Amino acid sequence: MDERTRNAMIDQYRNGPSELRRAWNAVPDEARHWKPATDAWSAHQIIIHCADSETAAATRIRMVVAEPKPTIIGYEQDAWAARFEYDLLPIDLAFATISAVRRLTTSVILRFTSENWESSGTHSESGSYSAGDWLRIYSAHLHDHAEQIRANVASWRST
């Protein structure tokens, strides 16, 4: 990945929390716990997932860069949503977590050298996993979930 592309992805990563917040703020109160299907997540659950995902992501990038050939462990996100009762967890704390973890991790990755960006390990589900792979995934992650929330709202409005 060239430096220009990487910097654009870092900017996207940094702006993810505000994009997610904009999507959430557009959800009518009565639609926040609505699911488009029984096996889908509500907007509320999506936000809580993002908070959990941010904490996992922050650890992953640190492991990839600081440890020699680490193994990055995947997790079953639907099991987490059920086990930790995402519907009952507080949104304000989820947003605080997302924002704080993103700000700190942005500070960390802005200090990376080109060599750091070449660091890699192995993901338990997908195989080879580099710092660049991490950036590609997480620069888009909150934006993708913001779109998922918008799609939920559109579906809710059409029912």
| 30-86 pLDDT, tens digit each | 999 999 999 999 999 999 999 999 999 999 999 999 999 999 999 999 999 999 999
For residues 23, 24, 26, 27, the Cα torsion angle rounded to the nearest 10 degrees is 130
Number of domains into which the chain is organized: 1
Domain of 17, CATH number, reads 1.20.120.450
Q: Cα separation of 57 and 95, whole Å? A: 15
Q: Cα separation of 153 and 33, whole Å? A: 11
pLDDT tier at 19, thresholds 50, 70, 90: very high
Range of the structural domain that residue 34 is part of: 3-158
Contact 46, 153 (CB under 8 A): no
Please give the model's pTM, rounded to 2 decimal places: 0.96
pLDDT tens digits, 70-94: 999 999 999 999 999 999 999 999 9
